[in-house]
Amino acid sequence: SLPEKYKKIVSLISNLCVLVSMIFIAFGALQLMALTYTQKMPATGISSSFLYLAAVISSVSYFFIIIFSLMKDNKKPLDK
């Protein structure tokens, strides 16, 4: 097992990678929403952009979950 110092560094790097991924997913989903806004789904008649709204909401939510997790982890003292 890694020492606490290295665990914290690895956790920080992985959380930063997740944050970057969530940003890309959110912006990609927003672009898809803009592209499909005028298209209607045949069965319901509502805009196809609502399908991509789930990706935007979940990626933004997960982004904030990771931010709060980073803030919580930053408050913990580093044991040697």
Eight-state DSSP code of residue 2 = -
Q: Where are the domains of the chain?
A: 4-75
Q: Which two tokens stand for residue 2?
A: 């890694």
Residue 74 reports pLDDT greater than 90: no
Q: What is the pLDDT of residues 17-55, one digit of tens each?
A: 999 999 999 999 999 999 999 999 999 999 999 999 999
Model confidence, pTM: 0.81
Residue 80 reports pLDDT greater than 60: no
As a whole number, the mean pLDDT across the chain is: 91
Q: How many CA atoms lie within 13 A of 74 on its CB side?
A: 8
Total Cβ atoms within 10 A of residue 51? 14
Question: What is the model's pLDDT at position 79?
Answer: 59
